[in-house]
Chains A and B, each alone.
Chain A
């Protein structure tokens, strides 16, 4: 299926892979923000996950343990954020930015000496003859386990938030922490768990970049993916399935601009590389135009610290 010299099937298959890091980070941040916390340190957690996962994979020889290591590293860094915002009641925006800076620095330090090393490879899941189906084969049956994991996490988060008590409590904390506290829920503890979850997801996303996408470790390898993930959460109106669409859209456009170049398209390169960001802005505007924050579905207590006075 070719359009303008570009094979649509391979494009969709590759955008699913390209979107995995930002999808994982976005779904994690979505949970965090639903609990009422704005963590701008996603980039820092992703890159810590990238180096943590890389070191774990190289040291143990197992890519799976690499992803576990990435999740652990991301969660550990997010613990600092939790400590500062939940216990020390620091400003969430500033703390998130500091987290990014710190994460970038620590990852670079930890990564000294890991430049140029090849990590153990993560193979595609063997679906056998299913992978040879004409259209569905490459799109649905030719990926590694992390791609399927990311989609599964979206489904899990959606189900938990919508249909379980845990999800309800989380959303209550995000909408009005004072009311939740009055009802007897431990606001800070719930937020802590949410923050740790967000950190772990971002960490796995980062590990995917260094273990599968590239795969290599270099300083700054995530190249701003964490910020894109934040944008996707807003784009998705804090709804999990929309986050999936947003991530695939962004991944698709980024992949498309290189594919267009390779196919010999005459659109100037610079406009193509600007396109993903401009389109994100456009979508953000459309999503939020004309209506207040309540209609946008943003958690009402987003960004405000909670301090129990009794």
Chain B
């Protein structure tokens, strides 16, 4: 009979092998799914994983990978810091929306002035918008002990309503014949966020994602705050004795993840999306949660995980157009990836043993 035995220390081998094994298992299971749907599994897997990077249109699609991965990485890093400390910010989608609205609002207020300081001001405004929205669950948790998962989630719906109001009301383009949607930032150079190298998909958001990844890595591994975050997550009592204030940590982690999500929203609305519209948000805030876990809550891992997730999106779209694969199949695929990762992860902390578990004295 198989049983699990806790390891004294997490296995370093499995720490790195888990994502790889999970991806391989997902490809196999996904292939089976595609075969059941009547598609050639190898053609689908190739279209999703190989073509965007090395295929016929890769020169265009590689850039698109960065477009999709940038916001995911940015948000996921903020979330990962919180998750490590046991602070569950599930409302990143709402913070993303609010950052976009506040940032876009500041920029549009200056229209049509041209000034090099407008875009930096918008960046600050976007980060502020997301930070402020995340402060609501943070303060409610620290003052009233209200569950931050639920509050941040409810605020996502509120943010969506505010977005609809912004697109049809206070941010609506006055020269748009009454149609919903703000001015397009492509037409306002001082506030636009175009590709830094044309067609590469790398806009300021992508740059920010990479910079933040490096900073977060340094923070977690070398800085005292990073140590406190890791400690609070793994041994809350010990953290208390060490002097870590749970209030300060909550406010800091929520605030940081909110600010990063808001930044992602700002870069997205001034760049690829182009304008504030009623359904401008596409679920990055939720997908980023998966990216955070896929990346093992480690900033460098998150960069890779973000690119992998982007691959499934971009490749999945190609499969939808060229092979008739329904878009939902990709969602199933992504869900399976996370399932396998979570399942295989057990081997990092536990060892597999065969045989009846003999009772041991004090085996804790």
Contact = CB atoms under 8 A, between A and B. Distances in A.
Q: Do A and B come from one complex?
A: yes
Interface residues of A, number: 49
Interface stretch (A101-109, A129-137, A201-209): A101-109
Nearest to A90: B342
B157 A310 contact: no
Contact of A84 (B143, B146, B342, B359): B342
A89 B346 contact: yes
B338 interface: yes
A277 B154 contact: yes
B290 interface: yes
B330 A310 contact: no
Contacts of A273: 161
Interface in B151-189: 151, 153-155, 157-158, 161-162, 164-165, 169
Interface in A97-155: 97-99, 101-109, 112
Q: Classify the secondary structure of A's interface with B.
A: helix
A290 B339 contact: no
A258 B179 CA distance: 23
Interface residues of B, number: 52
Given A234-B147, A310-B357, A84 B331 contact: no
A219 interface: yes
B189 to A, nearest CB: 32
Contact of B145 (A88, A89, A288): A288
B131 interface: no
Nearest to A111: B328
A284 B332 contact: no
Contacts of A281: 140, 146, 150-151, 154-155
A184 interface: no
B155 A277 contact: yes
Contacts of A93: 88, 149
Given A88-B342, A277-B158, A307 B144 contact: no
B40 to A, nearest CB: 17
Nearest to A270: B165
Interface string B285-296: 010011001000
B336 interface: yes
Interface in B307-351: 326-336, 338-339, 342-343, 345-346, 349-350
B90 to A, nearest CB: 8
Nearest to A227: B153
B144 A285 contact: yes
A75 to B, nearest CB: 17
B169 to A, nearest CB: 8
A6 to B, nearest CB: 22
B363 interface: yes
A310 B338 contact: no
A91 B293 CA distance: 10
A296 interface: yes
A230 interface: yes
B334 A105 contact: yes
Nearest to B329: A109
A94 B334 CA distance: 13
B145 A292 contact: yes
B46 interface: no
A278 B144 contact: no
Contact of A112 (B169, B326, B349): B326
A231 interface: yes
Contacts of A285: 140, 144, 146
A274 B158 contact: yes
Contacts of B338: 94, 97-98, 101-102
A293 interface: yes
B332 A105 contact: yes
Contacts of A99: 335
Interface of B: 4, 6, 37, 88, 90, 140, 143-147, 149-151, 153-155, 157-158, 161-162, 164-165, 169, 286, 289-290, 293, 326-336, 338-339, 342-343, 345-346, 349-350, 357, 359-360, 363-364
Interface of A: 40, 80, 83-84, 88-91, 93-95, 97-99, 101-109, 112, 219, 224, 227, 230-231, 234, 270, 273-274, 277-278, 280-281, 284-285, 288-293, 296, 307, 309-310
The 6 closest A-B pairs by CB, nearest first: A102-B335, A105-B331, A108-B328, A105-B332, A90-B342, A98-B338
Given A102-B338, A106-B328, 17 more contacts: A94-B342, A95-B339, A97-B289, A98-B290, A98-B338, A101-B290, A108-B331, A227-B150, A234-B147, A270-B169, A274-B162, A281-B146, A281-B154, A284-B146, A284-B147, A289-B143, A310-B360
8 contacts: A88-B342, A90-B346, A94-B338, A98-B338, A102-B332, A230-B153, A231-B150, A285-B146
